[in-house]
């Protein structure tokens, strides 16, 4: 065989071998790649399964944890500044327990001698009284509703409101002190119904636990008693307040209330309507009252606020009278202490179905210095009564108004916190206050171990209340239409109140007041009528959360 033919044969053989080898190589690579891909896919499936299982387990654990957390938070207790508070986990329902206890002691020092004809009280009773003993609950429901219920086991002399609902039978306060439901779902508004404590007058909007002096000034007590304010009033109230309304830092607010009598009295509820004069005059006394305030300036610590209050008595009922049917108004008050219930100034019951009043006030603080002032004017629309005579155009009926006895009073006061704290200003207050000032919070509560002594405050206030009107006017009755009634000898009382307050902590307080009192009842002939000077030392120990 020729060499050429041998070479061609070898070449073909080598090509077949090479081709076969390539096919084998490619097949092996393909098999390896397919095997690796299948293994990787299996691993990916296994990993995805493990991840899913882990996620399912985490979701289950989260659900269990959330359930446990919700169960734990569904009902929680906190103890906020001495006040136990119960709340639901979502915060829609709360209930706080409130306690307020005030025990007062008073020592009276009076003149030993009096002018001829003196018939006023000459030996007022020194002693002690449980001024207030509050227990109550308050809180919110469904976020938009506020409620408060409060009982009072104390009183002005620790007694009951009075036997049979007659206010003169005892000097205590009604047991049901407050029971009110308030809707707050509309921004800046509140609507209250029930047994109220309306926002009215300057210190009337200050909680009794935050008073700088043991009692409010006489003009405010007279206004509360006669014009439908104070606590324990049946009624309704609408209020609105908003900060930064007119300019940055101001706090504008309005409150209007329509009120009836107090809860502890059976007056004007039909028991004496048959014997009333005039017949059927047993309707409950009704009043419309309101207050407006605005904070003029604030730097975050110091504040200045002005206010105005006004009220109208539509039906006086038997205000201050035991017969339950007389239409009368009666202005009176104690000398800014409540241990003895004697009123040293008193107009007596004046036949007046209607009356009105207006008051203006200011208060503020410059860091540790606090100051306040208020003026009030009261008026009765006195009826003719027994002056009805033939051909008298001024008094055609006993209910016709013959004149308008008017009275007034004013007060100024200041305090200085020696330890550097400031009185707290609150822009709003649903519990019992409008915008105003509260007691200081001690920066270093009292502790013998820590060498701290709480907060100390000195205070002074002067008040002047004049319930005399036309004391020189005598009663005259004739047929010429010039009939008139006598003037009113209610008396004028001036009180200088010097106070020292110690705040060991934010719940306990000790107050010491020295009331220097001067009473003038006018002059009959050449004789002073039941005028006297006296001094009263008052001490109060308070716990309030």
For the stretch 262-319, pLDDT in tens is 887 655 555 444 444 444 456 788 999 999 999 999 999 999 999 999 999 999 986 5
Report whether the peptide linkage leading into residue 480 is cis, meaning its omega lies within 30 degrees of zero: no
Q: DSSP letter at 285?
A: P
Among 270-274, 322-326, 364-368, whose mean pLDDT is lowest? 270-274
Structure confidence at residue 264 (pLDDT):
74
Question: To 5 degrees, how large is the angle CA 219–CA 224–CA 227?
Answer: 105
To the nearest 10°, the Cα dihedral for 337, 198, 229, 357?
110
Q: Please say if the pLDDT value at position 11 is more than 60.
A: no
pLDDT band (50, 70, 90) for residue 465: very high
HSE (side-chain half, CA atoms, 13 Å) at 445:
7
Contact 52, 44 (CB under 8 A): no
Nearest to 526 by CA among 62, 4, 117: 117
Instruction: Give Cα 367 to chain centroid, integer Å.
Output: 23
Q: Please say if the pLDDT value at position 101 is more than 90.
A: yes
Handedness of CA 536, 416, 431, 230 (dihedral sign): positive
Q: DSSP letter at 335?
A: S
Buried b (16+ CB within 10 A) or exposed e, 509-543: bebebebebbbbbbeeeeebbbbbebebebebebe
User: How much is the average pLDDT of 63-87?
Assistant: 75
Among 145-159, 232-246, 297-311, whose mean pLDDT is lowest? 145-159
Helix (H) or strand (E) holding 48: helix 3-73
Residues 367-385 pLDDT 10s: 999 999 999 999 999 998 8
Structure confidence at residue 273 (pLDDT):
45
The values of phi and psi at residue 14, to 5°, are: -65, -40
Residue carrying the six token digits 């339950």:
324
Contact 495, 336 (CB under 8 A): yes
- Which residues are 415's β-sheet partners? 370, 459
The length of the chain in residues reads 545
Nearest to 468 by CA among 486, 492, 484, 485: 492
39 or 377: which carries more pLDDT confidence?
Answer: 377
Token digits for 12?
């073909």
**CA–CA gap between residue 269 and residue 26 (Å, rounded):** 112
Q: Residue ranges of the domains in the chain?
A: 1-70, 74-544
Question: To 5 degrees, how large is the angle CA 289–CA 290–CA 292?
Answer: 165
Contact 294, 253 (CB under 8 A): yes
65: left (phi over 0), alpha (psi -120 to 50) or beta: alpha
pLDDT band (50, 70, 90) for residue 27: low
Structure confidence at residue 322 (pLDDT):
47
CA terminus-to-terminus distance, the chain? 127
Please, which residues have CB within 8 angstroms of residue 314's CB and are 6 or more apart in sequence?
286, 287, 288, 354
User: How much is the average pLDDT of 405-430?
Assistant: 92
Percent of the chain with pLDDT over 70: 79
pLDDT band (50, 70, 90) for residue 72: low
To the nearest 10°, the Cα dihedral for 359, 365, 368, 374?
-10
Q: What is the mean pLDDT of the chain?
A: 84
Give pTM, 2 decimals.
Answer: 0.83
Question: Distances in Å between the alpha carbon of 237 and those of 240, 255, 326, 538?
Answer: 10, 7, 27, 34
pLDDT band (50, 70, 90) for residue 539: very high
**CA–CA gap between residue 192 and residue 431 (Å, rounded):** 11
Structure confidence at residue 178 (pLDDT):
94
In 234-390, which ranges are continuous DSSP H helix?
none
Nearest to 308 by CA among 381, 386, 204, 412: 204
Token digits for 353?
């179905």
Residue 377, Cβ neighbours under 10 Å: how many?
Answer: 15
Residues 503-512 pLDDT 10s: 999 999 999 9
**CA–CA gap between residue 457 and residue 56 (Å, rounded):** 65
Token digits for 537?
């030392």
Q: What is the CATH number of domain 74-544?
A: 2.40.160.10
Contact 542, 106 (CB under 8 A): no
Structure confidence at residue 274 (pLDDT):
45
Residue 462, Cβ neighbours under 10 Å: how many?
Answer: 16
476 or 537: which carries more pLDDT confidence?
Answer: 537
Question: Distances in Å between the alpha carbon of 85 and those of 74, 150, 328, 438, 457?
Answer: 14, 16, 45, 21, 30
HSE (side-chain half, CA atoms, 13 Å) at 520:
11
Helix (H) or strand (E) holding 269: none
């Amino acid at each position: 065989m020729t060499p050429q033919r041998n070479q061609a044969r070898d070449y073909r053989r080598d090509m077949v071998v090479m081709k076969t080898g390539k096919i084998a190589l490619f097949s092996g690579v393909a098999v390896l790649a397919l095997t690796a891909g299948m293994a990787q896919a299996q691993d990916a499936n296994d990993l995805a399964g493990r991840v899913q299982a882990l996620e399912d387990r985490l979701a289950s654990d989260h659900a269990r944890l959330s359930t446990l957390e919700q169960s734990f938070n569904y009902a929680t207790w906190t103890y906020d500044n001495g006040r136990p508070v119960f709340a639901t986990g979502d915060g829609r329902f709360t209930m706080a327990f409130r306690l307020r206890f005030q025990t007062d002691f008073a020592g009276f020092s009076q003149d030993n001698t009096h002018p001829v004809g003196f018939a006023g009280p000459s030996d007022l009773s020194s002693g002690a009284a449980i001024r207030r003993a509050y227990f109550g609950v308050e809180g919110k429901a469904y976020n938009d509703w506020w409620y408060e219920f409060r009982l009072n086991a104390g009183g002005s002399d620790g007694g009951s409101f009075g036997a049979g609902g007659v206010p003169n039978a005892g000097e205590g306060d009604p047991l049901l002190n407050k029971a009110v439901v308030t809707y707050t779902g509309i921004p800046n508004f509140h609507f209250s119904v029930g047994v109220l404590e309306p926002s009215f007058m300057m210190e009337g909007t200050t909680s009794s636990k935050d008073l700088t002096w043991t009692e409010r000034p006489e003009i405010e007590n007279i206004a509360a008693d006669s014009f439908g304010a104070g606590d324990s009033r049946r009624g309704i109230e609408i209020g609105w307040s908003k900060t930064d309304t007119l300019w940055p830092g101001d706090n504008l607010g309005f409150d209007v209330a329509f009120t009836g009598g107090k809860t502890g009295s059976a007056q004007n509820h039909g028991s004496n309507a048959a014997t009333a004069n005039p017949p059927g005059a047993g309707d409950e006394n009704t009043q419309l009252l309101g207050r407006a305030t605005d904070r003029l300036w604030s730097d975050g610590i110091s504040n200045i606020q002005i206010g105005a209050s006004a009220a109208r008595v539509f039906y006086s009922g038997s205000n201050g009278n035991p017969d339950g049917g007389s239409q009368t108004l009666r202005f009176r008050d104690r000398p800014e202490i409540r241990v003895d219930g004697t009123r040293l100034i008193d107009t007596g019951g004046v036949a007046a179905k209607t009356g009105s009043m207006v008051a203006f006030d200011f208060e503020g603080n410059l860091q540790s210095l606090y100051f306040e002032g208020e003026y009030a004017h009261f008026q009765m629309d006195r009826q003719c009564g027994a002056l009805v005579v033939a051909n008298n155009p001024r008094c055609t009926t006993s209910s016709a108004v013959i004149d308008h006895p008017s009275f007034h009073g004013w007060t100024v006061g200041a305090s200085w916190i020696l330890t550097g704290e400031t009185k707290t200003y609150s822009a709003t207050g649903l519990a019992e206050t409008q915008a105003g000032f509260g007691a200081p919070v001690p920066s270093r509560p009292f502790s013998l171990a820590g060498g701290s002594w709480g907060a100390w405050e000195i205070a002074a206030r002067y008040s002047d209340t004049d319930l005399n009107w036309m004391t020189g006017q005598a009663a005259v009755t004739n047929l010429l239409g010039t009939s008139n009634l006598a003037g009113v000898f209610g008396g004028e009382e001036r009180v200088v109140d010097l106070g020292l307050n110690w705040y060991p902590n934010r719940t306990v307080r000790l107050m010491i007041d020295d009331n220097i009192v001067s009473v003038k009842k006018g002059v009959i002939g050449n004789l002073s009528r039941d005028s006297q000077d006296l001094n009263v030392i008052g001490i109060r120990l308070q716990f309030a959360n």
